[in-house]
Amino acid sequence: MKIINLFLVSIATIIALPTLAATDLTLKSLNELKAPFTLAPLPYPANSLEVAFDELTMTTHHSKHHQAYVDNLNKNIGDNKGTLLDIFKNMSKQTPAVRNNGGGHWNHAFFWSILSGNKNDQTIPKKLLKDIETQFKSLENFQAEFEKAGLAQFGSGWVWLIRTQTGLAIVATPYQDNPIMDVTATRGWPILAADVWEHAYYIRYQNRRADYLKNYWKVVNWRMVDRYNEEAKALPKL
């Protein structure tokens, strides 16, 4: 009986590994990534966000787009042994290839982690809700402002909810820039993000970015956003 139990525990450990790795993600662990860079598996099945994002978009986005950022970052990183945080803090001194692919890698690894098809992840923790209401009056008002910023980003880019020294703020960045980089005017620690590149939504939504952003809320992992928000409160000023 003991042997069978041991066997079951081992199997459970093996099966749980990818999920554990994904839920163990922190801003600190993302910031500490360095060469050689690798693509982690999606932390959930590619068809589990179907209510908002279709499976083909998810697999293409992860296994083609994100993989290409990882590959091109490795190709262009040279003998830079720094962490992504070191690189982002000195982004203005890096090559365009490192800027685009370094951002591409960090941004997508972060993006996968704040999505979930699991109902348990989709309830907003009280502490986070209070912070959002303090800053934006209500959750509904925050969501409307976030969608507006995502729509206003001309062409490819991202919209972010960040924690600055003074509280929460919404910022949009072009291409694969992010608010950690020294090239971004309003800097802060990301706690939520939406990819507004067409590759994130074109298959299901075509040009309707507004519909994509409306449905995005159905798959936000608020439990992770809350964790990033609490972690960001203890991180140094950018």
Dihedrals phi, psi of 24, to nearest 5 degrees: -85, -5
Q: Does 106 bind Mn ion (CB under 5 A)?
A: no
Tell me the C-alpha to C-alpha distance, in Å, between residue 105 and each of 61, 88, 98: 12, 12, 10
Contacts of 95 (CB under 8 A, 6+ apart): 76
Q: Does 197 bind Mn ion (CB under 5 A)?
A: yes
| Binding positions for Mn ion, 157-196, rule CB under 5 A | 195
Q: How far is the CB of 95 from Mn ion (least distance, A)?
A: 21
Burial, 45: exposed, middle or buried (Cβ in 10 Å; 0-12, 13-18, 19+)?
exposed
Q: How far is the CB of 69 from Mn ion (least distance, A)?
A: 8
Residue with the shortest CB distance to Mn ion: 195
Q: How far is the CB of 165 from Mn ion (least distance, A)?
A: 29
Q: How far is the CB of 113 from Mn ion (least distance, A)?
A: 14
- Nearer Cβ to Mn ion (139/203): 203
Q: How many amino acids of this chain bind Mn ion (CB under 5 A)?
A: 2
Q: How far is the CB of 22 from Mn ion (least distance, A)?
A: 17
Contacts of 30 (CB under 8 A, 6+ apart): 84, 106, 109, 110
As given in the structure block, the two tokens for residue 24 are: 């163990």
Burial 211-227 (b: 16+ CB within 10 A, else e): ebbebbeebbbbbbbbb
The Cα angle at residue 135 between residues 126 and 108, in degrees rounded to 5 = 75
Contact call for residues 160 and 134 (beta carbons, < 8 A): no
Q: How far is the CB of 120 from Mn ion (least distance, A)?
A: 26
Q: Does 216 bind Mn ion (CB under 5 A)?
A: no
Show the binding pattern over residues 1-40: x = contacts Mn ion (CB under 5 A), - = does not: ----------------------------------------
Q: If you compute the radius of gyration of the chain from its CA atoms, what whole number of angstroms results?
A: 18
Tell which phi-psi region holds residue 78, choosing left (phi > 0), alpha (psi between -120 and 50) or beta: left
Q: How far is the CB of 107 from Mn ion (least distance, A)?
A: 7
- Nearer Cβ to Mn ion (44/136): 44
Q: Running DSSP on this structure, what letter comes out for residue 116?
A: -
By CB under 5 A, name the binding residues for Mn ion. Answer: 195, 197
